[in-house]
Amino acid sequence: MNALIREQFPILHQEINGHPLVYLDNAATSQKPRAVIDAVTRYYEWENANVHRGVHTLGSRATDAYEGAREKVARFLHAKSTEEIIFTRGTTTALNLVASSYARSVCGPGDEIVLTEMEHHSNLIPWQQVALAVGATLKYIPIQPDGTINLDDVEKTVTSRTKIVAIAHVSNVMGVVHPVKAIGEIAHKNGAVIVVDGAQSTPHMKVDVQDLDCDFYTLSGHKMCAPTGIGALYGKKALLQKMEPIEFGGEMINDVGLYESTWKELPWKFEGGTPIIAGAVGLGAAIDFLEEIGMDEIERHESRLAAYAIDRLDEIDGITLYGPRERKVGLITFNLGDVHPHDVATVLDTQGIAIRAGHHCCQPLMRWLKVSSTARASFYLYNTEEDIDRLVSALIQTKEFFGDAT
Ligand code: 7TS
């Protein structure tokens, strides 16, 4: 599928430092296809106006484009209705909305919020802030050496005091796909809700929020071919209805008095201020693009690439790979002997290869892995086996360059 797909990403066809670009930092952000770039341009050239207010033609076009994008997100996640889709800036904002609104209203002293130590900071700090504010307790499901978690451990960690279980569907470091449906069943049995961080799952696999029976689910558009600055929160209608907005102002009100006001119905009560209209249009176009290729096909492509990459990386002496051997998502975190990951990434960049190095916004996980940082190569639908071959030979050269350090 690749040559045709790669054609559609203008940014991939350039040289970086004298070499054809190999972009392997997709877990940080994905590149954008022509269809998305054109949709945003067309929106600004033909439809731009503020939404939900203008009686003029451009106002209706912009509103239709924005609300049309919401329908696409609802369909993409298989939500029951568009009322369950709140546009946000991304996963971070979506999780903060659930923490600040839902969690603060249901958690009191002694109540529990259950997480894992491998959460991205955006699925950790908001819950810490709630726990500190209301006197709730944070508990962590133990992690197995390969980054998976056991359902038995989930059973032991979640209790009748647990109000929220918050977990990433796919870890941005270990590449593990967690069994969120089964974890949700355990949460529900104990009267808790499950909040799923979908930042690393939605770009790479089919997600069905009704089948998963999750209470909240998030996505970040920029990781799935859409522009930066747009994402979404899915929430079950009954929960969202009970929640209070956390941002107040224009757009989200029904009636405003001098001393009190009332809110619009779902989903708009959570979207105070002029929304991210062009971003939503771009997200809608990205969803069309991904669905045309097929999420199952994308997942198959990436799991093939991941298997190939693990086999090839294994050839390198002294490399440590983190996470399970078998994986569905093309995301591989590693260390090259004692060479600092930043040095690895810097040398690779001189050869036109973009990977990420650092703590990946997972400092507790780095401590658990007993490393200060790691390197990470993450793939997407436009990556090829040749990209992985380039990565492997550059890593071998890096190792030779640093000699004794490995
Ligand atoms: N959750 C996970 C699992 C993530 O990987 C990220 C971003 C976020 C939440 C936050 O998403 P945002 O769109 O709101 O920023 N992860 C990464 C990464 O791994 N490298 O750069 C960003």
pLDDT recorded at residue 405: 52
pLDDT recorded at residue 380: 98
Average of pLDDT values for 387-401? Answer: 96
Q: 200 falls in which pLDDT band (50, 70, 90)?
A: very high
Instruction: Convert the pLDDT of each residue in 351-379 to its tens digit.
Output: 999 999 999 999 999 999 999 999 999 99
Q: Is the CB of 200 under 6 A from ligand 1?
A: yes
Phi and psi at 22, nearest 5°, equal -115, 110
Q: Is 80 exceeded by the pLDDT of residue 404?
A: no
Specify whether the CB–CB gap between 266 and 73 falls below 8 A: no
Classified as helix, coil or strand, 170 is strand
For ligand 1, the distance from its centroid to the CA atom of residue 197, given in whole angstroms, is 9
Q: 244 falls in which pLDDT band (50, 70, 90)?
A: very high
Atom of ligand 1 nearest to the CA of 220: 13
Other beta carbons less than 10 A from residue 104's beta carbon: 18
Q: Which of 118, 177, 200, 362 to mutate to test ligand 1, by most ligand atoms within 8 A of the CB atom?
A: 200
For ligand 1, the distance from its centroid to the CA atom of residue 50, given in whole angstroms, is 29
CA distance 210 to 230: 23
Atom of ligand 1 nearest to the CA of 362: 19
Q: 25 falls in which pLDDT band (50, 70, 90)?
A: very high
CA distance 362 to 371: 11
Average of pLDDT values for 330-353? Answer: 97
Average of pLDDT values for 207-226? Answer: 98
Q: Is 80 exceeded by the pLDDT of residue 175?
A: yes
Q: Helices (DSSP H) in 135-167: which residue ranges? A: 151-157
Atom of ligand 1 nearest to the CA of 171: 3
Burial class (CB in 10 A: 0-12, 13-18, 19+), 155: middle
CA distance 309 to 330: 9
For the chain, the farthest-separated pair of C-alpha atoms sits apart, in whole angstroms, at 72
How distant is the alpha carbon of residue 265 from its chain centre?
27
Residue nearest atom 15 of ligand 1, based on CA coordinates: 92
DSSP symbol at 331: E
CA distance 99 to 126: 6
